Amino acid sequence: MPIGVSWHAVVLLFGLVAFAPTRLGDLSSHPDAVTTYAAAIRRITSVQRAEDSVVASGGGSILLSHGRATPRVVVLFHGLTDSPTQFLPFAQQLYTEGANIYIPRLPHHAERAGNVAAMKRLTAQELRDVGDASTDVARGLGDTVIVAGLSAGGTIAAWIGQYRSEVRRVVLIAPALEVTHVPSMLHGAVLRIALRVPNVTRASPHDSTEPDREPGWATHAVAQTLKLGVAVRNAAGDRAPQAREMLFLLNAHDHTVAAGASLDLAREWRRHGDGVVRVFELPDSLELPHDVVDPRHPGSNPRAVFPVLDALVIGKTPLPWVTELR
């Protein structure tokens, strides 16, 4: 009998956890933009100095600057458990094309004494803050502000597109809005459970040649990223995005994030706004990993992917072999 009572209690507890409303808190924008190149450099330098004592080699925020404000500035957001170095090869390509580039480090990432378990401290508010702060400095780095992000970075990019009118174009690369293997109708319940139960961490073998990366995952970090995505999708259901162009790049071979959530978000943005919203998909035949950006990732193909990303960043239609989803 006590065993039966115990199981009933467990079932009741999980039922309450799964269906209790998720409190998003304040995930709106709190802008504090700069308008000059010098002010932007001061803020970024301050961030980099604060990181010096905590980040692993190659793990800090990256600025590629031409020494002056440029016609185009691109802000790039890396994914969970990675670092700004993830985007560096592509960033260098954009830099040679004349843009100033800023790649901020996400909170609790690439820490010198850290590991993937440290990411359980990550919150949706912190992701919102890094999106706000990066957009604030971008306005001083150049005239036309473009934002792109991969996975969790794509979720931040989506949030920026929804809230920050200073941004001309947003490129969402496989944004983490929902994960695969969880039916969409159950996603809300699973997210509520993940936010409330103790964190679960799984660390993968660490490569000593890549101290900026912490392979693995922490359920709280994933849940907080998805929570920010919920805030974006809720806002998109009520009003148009502030950015003028919202471009998605999905990967048909992706087994990490669910493409349906991106398609739903695109439909909401089209329904409420008159800006440009387009969705493109890399073909399954390329057999690309979820991380389509970092050449260090097994299975990556920068020769195929970088021209597509470059076209989207500068606002051009990518190559014909990339499918546009309607």
Rounded to whole angstroms, how far apart are CA atoms 267 and 258?
15
pLDDT on residue 185: 61
pTM, 2 dp: 0.91
The domain made up of 34-325 is a member of CATH 1.10.3720.10? no
DSSP per position, 104-119: PPPTT-SBTT--GGGG
Cβ proximity of 8 and 183 under 8 Å: no
The closest alpha carbon to 37, from 5, 11, 66, belongs to: 66
3-class DSSP state of 59: coil
pLDDT at residue 34, as a whole number: 96
pLDDT at 194: 82
Question: 169 near 247, Cβ under 8 Å?
Answer: yes
Q: What is the pLDDT of residues 130-185, one digit of tens each?
A: 999 999 999 999 999 999 999 999 999 999 999 999 999 999 999 999 988 776 66
pLDDT, averaged across the chain:
90
Rounded Cα distance between 126 and 14, Å, is 27
DSSP for residue 175: -
Q: What is the mean pLDDT of each run of 10 residues along the chain (326 residues)?
A: 39 41 79 96 98 92 98 98 96 98 96 83 97 97 98 98 98 94 71 84 79 84 94 95 98 96 96 93 97 94 98 96 95
Question: What's the confidence (pLDDT) of residue 11?
Answer: 34
Distance CA(87)–CA(249), nearest Å, equals 15
Q: H helices of the chain, where? A: 2-19, 37-52, 88-96, 124-141, 152-163, 184-196, 219-236, 259-272, 302-313
Strands 62-64 and 167-173 come out as: unpaired
Q: Whole-angstrom Cα distance, residue 98 to residue 277?
A: 26
